[in-house]
Amino acid sequence: MPVEIITSLQNPRLKRLVRLRDRRPRDEERKFLVEGFREVRRALEKKVTLDEVYFSRDWFLGSNEPALLAEAEASGASLFELSKEAFAKVAYRERPDGILAVAPQWQRTLADLRLPAVPFILVVEAIEKPGNLGTILRSADAAGCDAVIVCDPVTDLFNPNVVRASTGVLFSVPCVVEGGEAVLAWLKDRGIRSVATTPGAKALYSDSDLRGPLAIIMGSEQYGLSEFWLKNSDLPVRIPMAGQADSLNVAMAALITLFEAVRQRGAPGATR
Site of interaction with its own copies (CB under 8 A): 42, 135, 138-139, 141-144, 167-169, 172-173, 204, 206, 239-244, 246-249, 252, 255-256, 259-260, 262-263, 267-270, 272
Smallest separation (angstroms) from its own copies to the CB of 256: 5
Smallest separation (angstroms) from its own copies to the CB of 20: 21
How many residues does the structure list for the chain?
272
User: Which of 95/191 has CB closer to its own copies?
Assistant: 95
Smallest separation (angstroms) from its own copies to the CB of 166: 9
User: Which of 126/136 has CB closer to its own copies?
Assistant: 136
Smallest separation (angstroms) from its own copies to the CB of 115: 15
Instruction: Give the separation between CA 249 and CA 245, rounded to whole angstroms.
Output: 10
Residue 147 backbone class (left: φ over 0; alpha: ψ -120 to 50; beta: rest):
beta
User: Which of 208/232 has CB closer to its own copies?
Assistant: 208
Burial class (CB in 10 A: 0-12, 13-18, 19+), 228: middle
Smallest separation (angstroms) from its own copies to the CB of 185: 28
User: Which of 94/227 has CB closer to its own copies?
Assistant: 94
CB atoms inside a 10 Å sphere around CB 99: 26
H or E element at residue 218: strand 214-218
Q: What is the DSSP string of 224-256?
A: BS-HHHHHHSSEEEE----S-TTSS-HHHHHHH
User: Which of 76/116 has CB closer to its own copies?
Assistant: 116
